[in-house]
Amino acid sequence: MQLYNKLSAKERAELIDKTGKNRLTLSFYQYAKIGNPQLFRDHLFITWNTLDVLGRIYVAHEGINGQLSLPADRFNEFKSHLDTIEFLKDIRLNIAVEQDNKSFLKLKIKVRDKIVADGLNDDTFDVTNKGVHVNAEKFNELIEEEKTILVDMRNHYESEIGHFKNAITPDVDTFRESLDIIESDLKDHKEDKNLVMYCTGGIRCEKASAYFKHKGFKNVYQLEGGIIEYARQVKDQNLENKYLGQNFVFDDRRAERISDDVIAHCHQCGDPFDVHTNCANEACHLLFIQCPKCKEEMENCCSTTCMEINRLPYEAQKELRKGQGNSNDIFKKGRTDHLPHKKDLRNIFDHFKTNKV
With contact defined as beta carbons under 8 Å apart, do 44 and 109 qualify?
A: yes
Nearest-angstrom CA–CA distance, 106 and 180? 35
Assign 3-class secondary structure to 19-86.
HCCCEEEEEEEEECCCCCHHHHHHHHHHHHHHCCCEEEEEEECCEEEEEEEEEHHHHHHHHHHHHCCH
**In Å, how far are 158, 240, 288 from 27, measured between CA atoms?**
17, 24, 24
Q: Is 301 a catalytic residue?
A: no
Nearest-angstrom CA–CA distance, 99 and 115? 24
Bridge partners, residue 59, by sequence = 64, 111
Catalytic option among 199, 205, 284, 291 = 199
The packing angle between helices 314-321 and 304-311, to 10°, is 120
Q: What is the CA radius of gyration of the chain?
A: 21
Query: β-pairing, 23-31 with 63-71?
Result: antiparallel
Which residue, 220, 240, 218, is CA-closest to 230?
240
180: Cβ contacts below 8 Å, ≥ 6 apart = none
Nearest-angstrom CA–CA distance, 151 and 189? 13
With contact defined as beta carbons under 8 Å apart, do 271 and 291 qualify?
A: yes
With contact defined as beta carbons under 8 Å apart, do 24 and 32 qualify?
A: no
Nearest-angstrom CA–CA distance, 178 and 288? 21
120: Cβ contacts below 8 Å, ≥ 6 apart = 176, 179, 207, 211
Would you name the residues annotated as active-site residues? 199
